[in-house]
Amino acid sequence: MPRITAKTVKEHRENVQTALVDVTEEILRNEPGTDLTAAAIAKRAGIARNSIYRYVTSVNDLRRLVIERYMPGWMSAVTAATEGIDDPREWLAAWVSVNLEQAVASDHGWMRNVVVSAENQGGRNPHVNATIDNRCSFTRAGVDVVDVHKRVNVHLQEVWEQLAPGHGDIYMNLTMAQLAVGFRALEAGQSLDEVKPIVVQAILSIIPSEDSSAPGSSAADGPAPGSSA
């Protein structure tokens, strides 16, 4: 075990774990394609290789901790942007906007690549590609993406229930699909100023009108029997 320099064992443990996460992020950011190994991380952190397992159970734990360190800031930004907004349409527009902004600020594409590297150590298989919506890939990388989405999407379904009573879950999933399109556009190099208004408008456009929610009023039902339409 490394020599304890902190005031308490607990503080020492936290310091070493932070150092391990810092080193892991440094390798992932600056050396893409390099195998992430316990030996490489331990050497840079200044501890014995086997000592890593006093702080984490696997290298994938460190991948997870690298990604999760960005979650509190992301969620705080979402809360700050939507807090106090009573109108559901305004809330939805603010929610979509801030998530796109945080995707840029937190480098969502890079976080996705952290998952790709877990699936494809050393780039041995050029066909491996973890997409934003590939939850199995994130799970294998040690990231509980279901839990992450639950935390980030808090209140989204409630707002959709106000806008589309009884169908909040469907509209929430449609929103996430549109948001994923925005994330991919940002990762491909399009600017936030270009992407944000398009995605916000696309999501707001699926809000059902009051008339369309009335029984028998949907255009999707087709013309009435005998109609000349």
| Cα 217 from Cα 210, distance rounded (Å) | 10
| Cα 1 from Cα 157, distance rounded (Å) | 47
Contacts of 133 (CB under 8 A, 6+ apart): 177, 180
> What residues of the chain score a pLDDT lower than 70?
1-7, 113, 115-152, 211-229
pTM here is 0.70
Of the candidates 219, 185, 220, the one whose C-alpha atom is nearest the C-alpha of residue 200 is 185
| Cα 90 from Cα 73, distance rounded (Å) | 22
Q: Output the pLDDT for position 179.
A: 94
Contacts of 84 (CB under 8 A, 6+ apart): none
Q: Check for a shared fold between 9-56 and 67-205.
A: no
Which CATH class name applies to 67-205?
mainly alpha
Hey, which CATH number is domain 9-56, 2.60.120, 1.10.10, 3.10.450, 3.40.50? Answer: 1.10.10
Domain edges within the chain: 9-56, 67-205
Instruction: Write the pLDDT tens digit of every residue in 201-226.
Output: 999 999 998 765 544 444 444 554 45
Residue 86 to residues 44, 202, 223, Cα–Cα distance (Å): 50, 21, 37
Q: Output the pLDDT for position 105.
A: 86
